[in-house]
Amino acid sequence: MADSFENTGLSPVLCAMAAQAGLTEPTPIQAAAIPAILQGRDILATAPTGTGKTAAYALPLIQTLLETRKARMVLVLLPTRDLVLQTAKVFLHCMGAATGRGKTTSQPLVPVVPIIGGTDRTEQTQALVEATSDLTRPCTQILIATPGRLLDLVLAGQCSLDDCASLVLDEGDRLLSAEFLDETSALLDHLPKPRQTLVFSATRPDEQANLLASLLYKPQEITVEREPLKRGPIRQGALFMEDTQKVAFLKTFFSRAPKTRSIVFVRTKAEADLLASTLRKAGFAAAPLHADLTQERRTSTLASFGAGRLFILVATDVAARGLDITAVAQVINYDVPEQPETYLHRIGRTGRGGQKGSALTLCAATERKRLRQVEVGAGVKLRILSPEQALPTEQETQKNRRAR
């Protein structure tokens, strides 16, 4: 396996870009995927979050576009708006042109166009036109999109996928799940063949095997094992209580730590709205975060949370995918997640940047079996806490009072 970007087959130009982006040596997923992508092979990769998978496909695809002498498009599909924006930023960063959300410090070598719902369609169609208007180079572009909005543009005749030479399904397990399958399949019908297809997932559900077999041609399979999550900087625990006691517990918890930046995870959008409203009425700076929010409200909520004007996000899993927020002190699972991978995604919002974090799971009697399954699958052992142990300490409470 390649031990340097030079040995992956990347050109000196791309190696320099990687170094400029702060990538000093390839991660296992990058070392395995980059050579195969440069060879034009299909990829079926299973890798957990945080292994560098975005750069694993971004770098070789950028090189392919730079070397082309004909019109060519790279299409990256992702399940959420924030993941689209985050991935666009990685592509721009790899080309030395990234700043904030969708803005650049310089003209990127290849146009990057994010397509997401909840934003002005006119602006997006104009961006598509501008990306193909430079007559001094082949018509190349990187299109990064959620399936729903992109399908709307395609069906309206405002976006053509005829030049798509490489398709990436990032979080492919979710894009091929029942939640997104209809939209993803409809887009596949508009893509040319043959093409290169790259599928990156955190998991590989058995029920998707036949679908993947029809989608990929002799793929190189890559698996990066997840290291068991160590307790390290994230203090993890579980508190047994009935569902009817959970709201009262949260009110007590946040009364002791009202300025602790926290994310409370719930299962549904309705639960997020209801719990956030309940906490606000109790005097806490809380807001919901879910996929039904407009992009403007979502952006405003995240900005307030990041700036310290808002301290509690009540979020669904879909909405929280791809969030890049530092200094989240506390993650609370309002209920036990369905899958170990979901648990790891949730608690991965805290303990970032070397800071200490805490993850607490509220577990009803009917959820105890699932809690054990999560522990086994995630490679963790949660400490079972009493209510008093789960609440902020007196020292932490005093610290919060001084901060008011």
Write the pLDDT tens digit of every residue in 193-218.
999 999 999 888 888 999 999 999 99
Query: Given this chain, do its domains 5-223 and 234-403 carry the same CATH topology?
Result: yes
315 contact partners, CB below 8 Å, separation of at least 6: 263, 264, 265, 266, 272, 288, 289, 290
Cα 204 to Cα 200: distance, rounded to the nearest angstrom: 9
Specify the pTM: 0.66
How does residue 103 score in pLDDT terms, banded at 50, 70 and 90?
very low
Mean pLDDT score of the chain: 86
- Look at residue 229 in the predicted model and tell me its pLDDT: 45
Mean pLDDT comparison of 9-18, 115-124, 149-158, 343-352, highest-scoring range: 149-158
- Residues 106-154 pLDDT 10s: 567 888 999 998 777 888 888 887 776 664 555 678 999 999 999 999 9
Give me Rg for the CA atoms of the chain: 22
How do the domains of the chain map onto residue ranges? 5-223, 234-403
Q: Span 234-403: which CATH code?
A: 3.40.50.300
Does the structure show a pLDDT above 90 at 186? yes
Query: Which listed CATH number (3.40.190.10, 3.40.50.10140, 3.90.1170.50, 3.40.50.300) goes with 5-223?
Result: 3.40.50.300
pLDDT reported for residue 401: 46
pLDDT at 354: 66
Side-chain half-sphere exposure of 271, counting CA atoms within 13 A: 15
Interval 94-108 mean pLDDT = 55
pLDDT band of 36, cuts 50, 70, 90: very high
Q: Which two tokens stand for residue 155?
A: 């069906």
- Distance (Å, whole) CA 143 – CA 114: 6
